[in-house]
Each structure stands twice: as C-alpha cells, then as structure tokens.
Amino acid sequence: MNIAFLNPPFRGTFNREVRFQAVSPQKALHPPIMLGYATAICRDAGHKVDLIDAPALEINEEQTIERVAKLKPQFVVMLTSTASVKSDGRLAKEIAKRTGAKTVAVGNHATAVPDDTIKRGFDIVAMGEYDFTIRDLAKAKKLEEVDGISFKKAGRLIHNKGRELIKNLDELPFPAREFLPNEKYYSALYKNPFTFILAGRGCPHQCIYCAGPQLMSGRSYRFRSPEKVVEEMKFIKENFNLKSVLFNDDTLNVNKKYVLELCDLIVSEKINMPWAAYSRVDSVDQEIADAMKRAGCFLVKVGYESGCDELLKSMKKGARATTAQARKATKHFKEAGIQIHGTFVFGMPGETVETIKKTIAFAKELDLDFVQFSVAQPYPGTEFYNYLESNGFLHFNDWEDYLDDCGCIKPIFEYPNLSMKEMGHWIRQAYKEYYLRPHYVLKAIKQRLTNWNLMKTSLRSAWSLLHYMRE
C-alpha cells in the first residue's frame, strides 16, 4: 500500500509539533518527528511511503498536492493543529478529490475534538499516539477493526476503542529522517541545522495548559533505554549533516538515575554531538547539571512560567516548582556552563497586569541567555481550556482566531481584571524590556562575535522579533 505523510502548508514557518503551535516571533522551523516515527513504521512494514514537510520545503498547496499525487497513495496522513484545522481540512478535501486517497488527521486537535476535525473535511481521525495506528489501518479489512480511530459511516460518526500507549518505546524504529529536508531546520537557540530526538514520552506533572501529556503521551514518563538513545545519536551523526539535537521530551531530567545513566553513556561512547533539552526548575541539582554539560549539553529550555508563586500553584506546576527553586536551578545551570532559554507564560488563572510586571522583573533578575514570553494557548481537551470555557472567559469565533496576522499566538480569552488587549500589549512590552537592556545587548554581541553561526541565526531571529515588538 502507498501512504503519504504530510505536514501541510500554512502561514509560512508555522510549527505544528511544538507546545504552542504557531509561527515563532523569534523565527524557528522544527522537524515533524512524530510523523517521522509513523512513516518509519509503515516503511518497515513494507509499504511505499513519502514524508512531505511543506513548510520546510516552502511549497504551496498546489505543489503539495502534486507531490502527494506522485505516490498514488491509498492513505494521506496529515498533521493538523487547532489554528490550522480549517485550512488543513480544505486541503484534505482537495487531496481526496484529486487522488482518491482516504485522508487521516493526527495531532492534538484531532485527538481532542475528532468530531470537529472530521467535519472539516477529513475521512478518519487517528487519536493519541498514532505510530502503529496507521500501520494497522493500512492492513485492516474494516475500519471498525482499528483501535484509536474515529470515522464517518452512513452519515454517523463512529469512535472505536482507544489505543493504549506504547509500553516499550525501544520497539520503535528511528524516525524516517531520510525523507526530510534536514538542512532546513533551524532556531537561534541551537547549532544549525538541528533535529529532534526523544529519550521518552509523557510527563508525570499536572500543568493545566500543556496539551501533549493531556492528549497524546500521557501523565507518566516512559523511557527509551539509554543504549537505544545513544545508538540513534550515533546514527544521526553518521548519516545526516546535522550540527545539534534537541531532546524534545517534556522534561528530559525528570528522573535523576535515568539522566545520569544517559549522560554517562553519551560520554563513554564518545558521541561528541552538541545537544539541548527541556528542564523544569525542580528537576535539576548540581550533579545533574554537571553531568549534562560533560555529555555535550550546551543549552536548556527551562519552564519558569511565572515570577509569582500564587500563579505557579494555579497552573498546577507542582509543589516544588517555586520562584525560590527557580533561582537555585538557574544557579546550577550557570555554574555548569550551560546556556538557559527561559519560557514564561501570561494568562494563567489569577493573572493581572501586576503579576505580569512581576514576572518580567523576575526574568530580568534571573538574567538568562534567551527568553520566550507567550500568552497561554487554551487548546481544546486541556484542563485550561475547560476552565476558561466553563467560566465564560473564552472570546473567539473561529479556530483561526488563535493566531494574529503574522501567524503568532494572540490572546483569545480575558479575565474581568485582565483584557486581551492588555495581554497582547504586555507580551511585546516584556520582550522590549528584556532584550533591549544595555546589559543584555552588550552580552549578546560579545557572545556572537566569537560564533559566526550563532550570529547568522541571531540576526534572522532579531529581525523577526523586532518586527513582532511593533504593536
């Protein structure tokens, strides 16, 4: 059987396989690695496959349809998202019309609201972890036989039994990166071009806004063996011209024993490949930070989220995720010599202009290498979305309202004491106050004068961010 896997065109460098699905104000393009897993599984099962990343290839809808049609597929698996689902559905209809293929929607939005997704123009929705669902779909005689899908039959929506999460992640092949334009993936944060790698899936924490664990990967952390992860790092280094990898796990170092074993193996196997990872403030000590640095970690993305302990509680960040602990975590990474990219989110329950100002001041106090300020995105199916909806705080008419004219996140909710206009203003103000400080500008120039690759990507990022700052 022929199966095409597609990250559809939408708003230029729109990223779907990220935590906040949008065009980054700081300009970045990320690889659709989860699509890559499903592609590899179907390839290994003997199917003829193609993986098309339209945003990276910079191809429009017509060019995308032409490439899909060359494969003469029976199924086209399309990654979708909340903001893009209308556009994706229109494209799905056209693909089905022109190729005769059945279209399958995957991703957070499709999982949360399969009825809405099918209504947009898709034939089937594969919910949650769809790696093996697509393989099973390809060999099934009847759709009713496949766990984890929804579909329409005789005008009626049918929801099959849910698919269990994959217990043994080591049975997964490496993602089919050979189909991707790997040289296209970049970010000012990393050594480019870069790719994603996963040491595990899921997250044991209860944050109300994070869609991945609530919809796709579960509230526990399932590990791949350190040996399998290191084998993949070797494979990447030997087969692709990539300069670094990002561990796209929600929190790589959530388990101390595991991360120390992984770091020791990376060192003993002499991988010598720069890498970055996500971290929480309560999942690091000096031993972990030093081990990560020895193993090649040059940057961590730390979810600080707020400078107010009350808001950290309201978003269910966890008992140990406090501003005091955030200062300790920052000290550990700085002493290890690892750069820090801090993420902060505005709009959690209880947010006011005063708490936003407090968070901006806290970010400046921490004096991080890079920052990201975002308005929280209430994705359907998350606890945060349900909270806003039940209290009448949501204000949007269409899924496309999630984005502004540039494809960046915009507020679609407000509180009695904090308006959407105020949140939009303070996001831009936060970037101005942080990045335009003389101290930060001098430090950034010094860093980049000795790193031409960082200079090039930073100029692209800075130009995009300056444009975004203009209200």
Residues 6 or more apart whose Cβ sits within 8 Å of residue 258: 199, 223, 226
Contact 340, 292 (CB under 8 A): no
Residues in Cβ contact with 127 at an 8 Å cutoff, skipping those fewer than 6 apart: 110, 111, 114, 148, 149, 150, 162, 163
pLDDT of residue 442: 86
Tens digit of each residue's pLDDT (9 = 90 or more) over 214-250: 999 999 999 999 999 999 999 999 999 999 999 999 9
H or E, element range at 103:
strand 102-106
Identify the architecture of domain 2-159 in CATH: 3-Layer(aba) Sandwich (3.40)
- Retrieve residue 180's tokens: 């991707």
pLDDT at 441: 87
Q: pLDDT in tens for each of the 471 residues of the chain?
A: 999 999 999 999 999 999 999 998 888 999 999 999 999 999 999 999 999 999 999 999 999 999 999 999 999 999 999 999 999 999 999 999 999 999 999 999 999 999 999 999 999 999 999 999 999 999 999 999 999 999 999 889 999 999 999 999 999 999 999 999 999 999 989 999 999 999 999 999 999 999 999 999 999 999 999 999 999 999 999 999 999 999 999 999 999 999 999 999 999 999 999 999 999 999 999 999 999 999 999 999 999 999 999 999 999 999 999 999 999 999 999 999 999 999 999 999 999 999 999 999 999 999 999 999 999 999 999 999 999 999 999 999 999 999 999 999 999 999 999 999 999 999 999 999 999 999 888 877 777 666 666 666 666 666 667 666 675
The architecture of the domain spanning 189-469 is: Alpha-Beta Horseshoe (3.80)
Instruction: Indicate the pTM of the whole model.
Output: 0.94
Give 65-122 pLDDT, tens digit per residue. 999 999 999 999 999 999 999 999 999 999 999 999 999 999 999 999 999 999 999 9
Q: Is 348 exposed, middle or buried (0-12, 13-18, 19+ CB in 10 A)?
A: buried
Nearest to 321 by CA among 310, 331, 333, 332: 310
The answer to whether the CB of 277 falls within 8 A of the CB of 292 is: yes
Q: What pLDDT, on the 0 to 100 scale, is given for residue 128?
A: 97
- What is residue 99's predicted lDDT score, i.e. its pLDDT? 98
Tens-digit pLDDT profile for residues 12-23:
999 999 999 999
Question: Quick one: which H or E segment has residue 68?
Answer: helix 61-71
Q: Domains of the chain: which residue ranges?
A: 2-159, 189-469
Indicate the SS3 state at residue 28.
strand
How many beta carbons lie within 10 A of that of residue 228, not counting itself? 16
